[in-house]
Structure 1
Amino acid sequence: MDTHKKTQVVIVGGGVAGLMLSQLLHVEGISCVILERQTRAYTEGRIRAGVLEFGTVNLMRKIGVSERMDRLGLLHEGFALMDDGEKVRIALHDLVETDVMVYGQTEITIDLMDACVARGTPIVFEVKDVVLHDFESSAPYVTYIKDGSQHRLDCDFIAGCDGAHGVCRATLPDAAKYAVEKVYPFGWLGILSDVPPMDHELIYSNHERGFALASQRSSTRSRYYIQCDVTEKIENWSDDRIWDELEVRLGDTTDHRITRGPSLEKSIAPLKSFVCEKMQHGRLFIAGDAAHIVPPTGAKGLNLAASDVSYLADALIAHYKLGEEAGLKGYTDRALSRIWKAERFSWSMTQLTHRFPQMTAFDRKMQKAELSYIRNSAAAQTSIAENYIGLPY
């Protein structure tokens, strides 16, 4: 056993949350080590989110990892809500004078990973059997297996950024008692293809056959989703079947033409809202998907991870630089305040844009009335815009 390694912060999980936290700490001279169970290639290749709030964009700039994002990212000044062909544009820039940026999570991961390597932030890939020890004391440590040998990392704090199925939340005492969850009765079937997007902005469509989303990762790469039953199997969906369904739900017209192409990736993901309201215990803190899941309808998953690690980094920096403990003690309350607002927005967007099983005529009338209200109310559109571009932190 290697018992001689020590760092200030051990970060469990090498996704966006863990990588971003490491760089926020690095620029302040705080040492950390990242433990990641997958290979670097796997971590960088995961297909995830693509809409960045202004706060996430600013964080990337703050840590000096924004060159490719600023050069290749697409600023979006608005997006559309559509219901059976009737469209309402939410003009983000006009309403709140701020945009969102479309830049894939895969690209962010690559940028952050490159920064870690260039700056010498240690990342240990393909670790197994990670165990957290003594985090209720002032001297926690983490053990893990790498290449068949056991290793030990002594530290001051442990940051759990290892996702919904990672070890960190599972290790928090009584975490299950603090879990709040809503499971939706459908999933999203997604297709990624190197074809031009059907529109320069995102379109969220509520159709009698179910929800659809026209999204993008670049001017030449498109990401589309359709609502499907949670029991569906991806092998039953050929590329042509998906494109056919998208044309129906999104309205393939001369103004909005879908370009077909071979899929680079296809998947089905269930929709769930989940919050663990216990985000710390002793010197163990959790952030990102380890603490919460949101439906992708509001584009909040990656962005909530960014605000979590921003709060956690602020607290750790105050501890090391100023000897202050208030930030660490208040981390959960500070993070949860923003998390629940984002959960509310994602839930409301899902309610507005999806056809639910056993939906009554009254339920459908409420959807129509809500969209009509949004169409004719600058205040309603501003509220949506404020939440979509991201509440401040």
Structure 2
Amino acid sequence: MGTAAGFRNLANRAMSFNGTNSVAVVPHSSLLSPSNISIVAVVKTTGFYSGTCQGNNIIYKSYAYYTPGCWAMHLTEDDGNCNTVSPTTVKLDYAGSSSGSYTLSSNTVDTGKWYFMVTTFNGSTIKRYMVQMIDTVYTSGITPISTTSFSAAIGTNTDDVRIGGTQNPPFRYWFNGAMDELVLFNKELADSNVQSIYDYLWGLININFTNRSLLRGDTLHVNYVPVNPTLYSAGNVFSIELSNAAGSFSSPTIIGSLTSTVAGKIICTIPTTIPTGSGYRIRIVSSNAASRMPDNGVNITVTNSISKISLLHNTTLLPNPNNGSFTLTGNTLSTQPIHTQVYNSIGQLMFTKDIAPANGAIKETITLPEVASGIYVLRLYVAEDVKTIRFRVDK
């Protein structure tokens, strides 16, 4: 057993199994004999087992399938024949403590592709989920691909857990491929839980952007949150892309970027040269690991009008110059908190604070900690509105 690149081609993120003798063993524990169970895996096969009954063991606890205390996630040929090799019929299945009438879906497993797989058992029902993991295609609304009524309790045994093969000589079911993730839960996962786990493993980045009307030349502030920050390595760049006026990203325009591996805010500018239109979309992409998210889901209208109601107005900073302490006043049409940032003359962030407006009024005294004399910039963000005020500190 060795290591391999995982989903999204990140080096050494997966275990590799050679299909002939690779196996990982987890010693028996009573914790591994639950009454309900869910098994989650992200796997890619490079070939299928061709021995008797053509199984492919991902993980199981038992000596043999369908015996007391057994639970297993495996890939099996759905041809009803233990002697005929039919690799085009391989499907995801769960093996319990006794054999039964298992009805599988029409979804088959292909070699060379990553899959997100989940099997659950709640004491009366087996559910199977399977989604192909494609780094540029996000899947929402995940539901079971098949469901089977099965009332045999899991029970207990003292066998170890084996990953990648079984200990039953007639049916070794060696797994040939790579496993990126393998997780056990001592409960039945709901569809929403399965979706959340998929979001995490796929690497969903949520963006907060609700404005549906923009001007050419507008500056906007896009908040983003990676569901799984561990996917991203040093030097990663998050970028906001703008589609064309028809919503196509065949040749997107980058309107803002930020070098980071964690949640943050990206300052973007709508180009003044793009055509006006009502079908624009935005999306976020990353560079390391490379990923591309779904778009914002609603059309954005871009116009060339000069009339725009600002959410921030009559904003003043006094005194200016000051000694590092000043009072910010103004008005806002928004009820959202106003995010403030202060930068020095070389672009370093010196201070940040969220201010809650009171009945549309802004009044806040800000004292900057240990700042030197010089020119500073205060930026105020609310929704997608941004205001900038320059001021000087004299000490």
TM over 0.5: no
The alignment's TM-score, normalised by the length of structure 1, stands at 0.24
Instruction: Give the structure, 1 or 2, with the largest relative contact order (CA under 8 Å, sep 6 or more).
Output: 1
**Higher alpha-carbon Rg:** 2
